[in-house]
Amino acid sequence: TQLLEQSPQFLSIQEGENLTVYCNSSSVFSSLQWYRQEPGEGPVLLVTVVTGGEVKKLKRLTFQFGDARKDSSLHITAAQPGDTGLYLCGRSGGSNYKLTFGKGTLLTVNP
């Protein structure tokens, strides 16, 4: 089983602060996805990273895929209460058809 480890598990910060969450694995992935899940809703895709060393930006969110394609990070600049939610990393595809997610980072941004 190709496990995805996410850290930290919980993060509570004040509005305006910056933060970084991490997704790590011992295995190489061809691609990695980041999702955000708001309370009472299903996860929604934020971004897919495919190439080692790739950096993608989505407004205040910056996603990076490690050079070795075993890790990824999500950095949020000037966090806002609307960023509150569960951030999940996940991979899809592969020969065994199974889909794997990390346990997530639960982010709370206090006003």
Partner 1 sequence: DVKVTQSSRYLVKRTGEKVFLECVQDMDHENMFWYRQDPGLGLRLIYFSYDVKMKEKGDIPEGYSVSREKKERFSLILESASTNQTSMYLCASISDLLAGYNEQFFGPGTRLTVL
Using CB under 8 A as the binding rule, whether residue 40 contacts partner 1 is answered as yes
φ and ψ at 35, to 5 degrees?
A: -125, 155
Token pair listed for 39: 């309370």
Q: Decide if 87 contacts 104 (C-beta within 8 A).
A: yes
Using CB under 8 A as the binding rule, whether residue 66 contacts partner 1 is answered as no
DSSP code of 87? E
Using CB under 8 A as the binding rule, whether residue 33 contacts partner 1 is answered as yes
Member of 15, 17, 41, 67 binding partner 1 (CB under 8 A): 41
Token pair listed for 22: 């991490």
Using CB under 8 A as the binding rule, whether residue 44 contacts partner 1 is answered as yes
What residue ranges bind partner 1 (CB under 8 A)? 30-31, 33, 35, 40-45, 48, 50, 88, 90-94, 97-99, 101-104
